[in-house]
Chain A
């Protein structure tokens, strides 16, 4: 019997860029970091929330009466949502024929999620793929995963975790026997910067990374390059030096993706436009920087 439910905001099939083969990526809702540039601003809050894409509105007005708290109004030929009044009940979602509303975050029992994850099993087997746990921060839903992962593993699925690493290790450790590989992010080494840009210290992250290395757990460290924020040589020298001290010889430099900026007007979020450039000129210098520490980037 399922003890808890998972809150999941997306399940993406034919995911082929994170990890090997054809994968299904499960996005768990809720995160303990608050990165200003988060690609999935809708992933942060642990509870379900309303998403409204005004561009899809065809002005049929079906939604206006559907909202019990009167958060939806109709102005210049389009509906509009006042997120301050919205209590995320989701009644408007069903009313809209054009899919302008969506309630992000659906509850899944273990068996429901298992069904979704096994739909592409024949493709995992034929391509060496599997399931990727992503988010948000999947590990925050550790209690659910403790019941779920054994079933997924039992079905013969390769499991990969994408994590920010910011939680007490006791949440992660019971999951490790089922996970084959971990992708962990390293955004800053400097605690003050980490605090400033993500709203949280990075002590737990460094601790957890250390423990995983000590266990010799198969992992890949990824550094997301956010132009002008963590792409300076100074900060990367610190990261590189730390990784080197852990004996890590390879990092993956991730390119910045600004697509999230179009999402923030559609949800209730404090995340603001950053207008960060997509310029990737810094990559070359960073690669050199890592190679000084015998790290392939």
Chain B
């Protein structure tokens, strides 16, 4: 495609500058809006789903008191005692008998109406200067609490939420009272959290899940992680979608009224309610904007508000007719999604592709120019930065950086296999350059046709810091999707969901962030060096006198990993079945392909492509450990296996020299050493194979991924010493990156090691962090080096790479004077974050992460 204009970097819009300032200065606040309104709806319509019962009311009161106590002891890191779990279970059965809701599909309708109720009542906020409106939360930067999911976990932390050390969140005393007195007591025995614990057969599973050392299951907080069909909303509007639903209803009505069909009709009815709610919501916005315009004194702003009010007379009900309308329609839909679902990984897809015709039409008619386009996109990007995920304190160790990981994908190829880069691809990056907030995430798809000019443009953006954009290798990813039974056409249309996972926009429900598995723990099971109660009733497969080779160790490791995965998958399947049975998402189901045709909720398997993602954590640590065992025990015979295990078990106490020997003289993953890379290859192959064999609740397969967010920190703290010389409590490696300090042969060696990681089955993505010293990549020469690293890695089989371009100095200064560096954005895992929002451990890690320079 011929580029008409290449936007110049650094042209500053004063509007965007002002928006950026507003967003950087805004405090982080708790948003209780959704919780408040759905509670309000449920409470005033209790008759719809439960019988009156005085006994139950009393039982609930007493139960809540004891439930709260359990949450407090959990927060202190204590295990739940088995008796309490059993009593909880019994009470759950009691409630089940006393509710209608769980037995009928009216729950879908109830939740759809609760959403409509929220949309009718939630506060509509318009901030100065913005040209795209829609507030996901009641605060400028808000962390919505989802009491219907797992918000109740916040109970023990409410008192300290505003003062906690990491990521304090402001909250009013009124909000606190509402939560404590009205909201939590109502939801504690109806939420996904509660039902999940009910669904676990083995009470020990709950403790294993909550211990945080073996695996992490995230979906208790919500599933999300998908790219809705925003394109369809723009193109046909909610009226169009409603029409489609109605057609299906008519078809069903003509069939026999079996139980199944009645259920289906109920479900479709809930979709109609949701789409109607979206349409009405647009009307509300139109009125609100007119009112604001009426009282606005500034003529220019008045005009802008009038234009927006006018726009909302048609969208999102009807198709968007301009570029501005398209962005606005998409954003208002994004807002509605977040009144229903948890704010994690809800992504926008290939914006430069599906907005291009709107752009082209408006440019050609002279309605807008590129400068205006950048301004509109900038306003849009700013909106996406208004959301914060709400993590309870321990979760911040695992997901530091407060990213809700909304992804935007650029470039790639057109259906005719041409370079898909167009003017909008540049303009979106240019708008990002002016905003530079912690999100959304921007991802660039790269293939052999991707224009060098666009890559260079991306590098210039990247070189200013912030780690955006990240790069994805088209041919490898498309092949991987086709291997997962995606049609070739769909595979070519993939976009990145959230951090690094792939999905086909609107057609897949990848539930990509479902779980994280600590590989190092499986190794500790093998060596018998783990602490804690995991497997108290089960038996790990420990090494013995008959363990004679590293292959024997690997065999046991595989058995243990399988056991660990089985436990984690059992847990995740329970969580997913709870979502399917107790927490339908009728609105999201209306804007993803599949649920309408199948008349089945997204959470129950309605989408066309279904999968759940499980990530492996600590790949490099395990590879290095196997290498250390091989060298110390089997080739150099310095110690016997049991002697070596005893040393590791003592956390290398009095074995400094041996530890130094291992750290310095045993090859490490990341050094392009075939012997150790063969272990990372083998371990990744075992993991991917085991995960791919597992099936989940929605009728798809589990997909293995290799990215960590900051779970490598959280797991690390709870993981015993390893043969690699890593001491108890030290962090594990992130993504498929080498361990800290082992990249002594530079980035090309590290990239080569990474391309040896088995990626054939790794359908949920992998992340490679490369920190590059600023001075090495300055100027056009630097672009040649960056392109060289990128293409060299991709040609060698790499999947993804992201560069953190920083100088150590800035990070050190930022740690000392946080106030001066409010806007310092750094790359963490598959997302970026403000440096100030990180845990202290994560800050240290970033400072330590290898910098390559000569």
Contact = CB atoms under 8 A, between A and B. Distances in A.
B660 A97 contact: yes
Given A119-B749, A126-B792, A22 B664 contact: no
Given A14-B748, A128-B784, A120 B854 contact: no
Interface string B782-814: 001101111111011000000000000000000
A58 B656 contact: yes
B85 interface: no
A98 interface: yes
B658 interface: yes
A194 to B, nearest CB: 29
Interface residues of B, number: 29
B787 A127 contact: yes
B6 interface: no
B745 interface: yes
B788 A97 contact: no
B796 A122 contact: yes
B429 to A, nearest CB: 22
Interface of A: 12-17, 20-22, 58, 60, 62, 97-99, 119-120, 122-129
Contacts of A16: 776, 785, 854
A62 B789 contact: no
B795 A125 contact: yes
Interface string B661-672: 100110000001
Q: Is the interface of B mostly helix, strand, loop or mixed?
A: helix
B713 to A, nearest CB: 28
A126 B657 contact: no
A126 B661 contact: no
A15 B854 contact: yes
B68 interface: no
B463 to A, nearest CB: 15
Contacts of B660: 58, 60, 97-98
B852 interface: yes
A122 B751 CA distance: 11
B854 A122 contact: no
Given A60-B660, A124-B792, A126-B795, 4 more contacts: A97-B665, A120-B792, A123-B788, A127-B788
Contact of B854 (A14, A62, A127, A129): A14
B792 A119 contact: no
20 contacts: A12-B854, A13-B749, A14-B747, A14-B749, A14-B854, A17-B854, A20-B784, A21-B785, A22-B788, A58-B657, A98-B664, A120-B748, A122-B792, A123-B788, A123-B792, A124-B792, A125-B792, A126-B791, A127-B791, A128-B788
Interface string B119-141: 00000000000000000000000
A99 B660 CA distance: 9
B665 A60 contact: no
Contacts of B747: 14
B792 A127 contact: yes
A228 B204 CA distance: 77
B746 to A, nearest CB: 4
Interface in B262-316: none
Contact of B745 (A13, A22, A98): A13
B752 interface: yes
A125 B789 CA distance: 10
Contacts of A123: 748, 751, 788-789, 792-793
Nearest to A123: B792
Interface string B681-693: 0000000000000
A17 B776 CA distance: 9
B795 A127 contact: no
Kindly list the 6 A-B residue pairs having the minimum CB-CB distance in the complex, ordered from nearest.
A127-B788, A123-B792, A97-B661, A14-B746, A126-B791, A97-B660
A127 B785 contact: yes
Contacts of A124: 792
Contacts of A122: 792-793, 795-796
A132 B672 CA distance: 20
B854 A22 contact: no
A12 B852 CA distance: 12
B723 to A, nearest CB: 15
B788 A129 contact: yes
Contacts of A120: 748, 752, 792
A98 to B, nearest CB: 5
A15 B792 CA distance: 15
A22 B782 CA distance: 10
Given A97-B664, A119-B672, A126-B795, A13 B746 contact: yes
Nearest to A119: B672
Contacts of B665: 97, 99
Contacts of B664: 97-99
Contact of A127 (B672, B745, B746, B784): B784
Contact of A126 (B746, B749, B788): B788
A12 B748 CA distance: 11
B208 to A, nearest CB: 38
B629 to A, nearest CB: 17
Nearest to A15: B854
A122 B747 CA distance: 13
Contacts of B789: 22, 123, 126-127
Nearest to B790: A126
A190 B721 CA distance: 63
A80 B540 CA distance: 49
Given A123-B788, A127-B788, A128-B784, A97 B854 contact: no
Q: Residue among A21, A123, A128 with the most chain B CB within 10 A?
A: A123
A174 B27 CA distance: 71
A198 B672 CA distance: 38
A126 B751 CA distance: 13
B746 A21 contact: no
B165 to A, nearest CB: 36
B306 to A, nearest CB: 53
Contacts of B752: 119-120
A128 B781 CA distance: 11
A97 B632 CA distance: 12
A13 B788 CA distance: 13
A15 B664 CA distance: 23
A98 B661 CA distance: 6
A126 B660 CA distance: 37
B852 A14 contact: yes
A184 B439 CA distance: 50
Nearest to B785: A16
Interface in B764-787: 776, 784-785, 787
Contacts of A129: 788
Nearest to B798: A122
A122 B748 CA distance: 9
A22 B749 contact: no
B784 A13 contact: no
A111 to B, nearest CB: 15
Interface string B719-757: 000000000000000000000000001111101100000
Given A16-B854, A97-B661, A120-B792, A126 B745 contact: no
B784 to A, nearest CB: 6
B657 A60 contact: yes
A78 B746 CA distance: 30
Interface in B344-397: none
A128 B752 CA distance: 18
Nearest to B784: A127
Contacts of B791: 126-127
B332 to A, nearest CB: 43
Contacts of B658: 97
A123 B801 CA distance: 14
Contacts of A127: 784-785, 787-789, 791-792
Contacts of A14: 745-749, 852, 854
Nearest to B663: A97
A129 B748 CA distance: 12
A166 B752 CA distance: 38
B192 to A, nearest CB: 47
A62 B656 CA distance: 12
Contacts of A98: 660, 664
Contacts of A20: 784
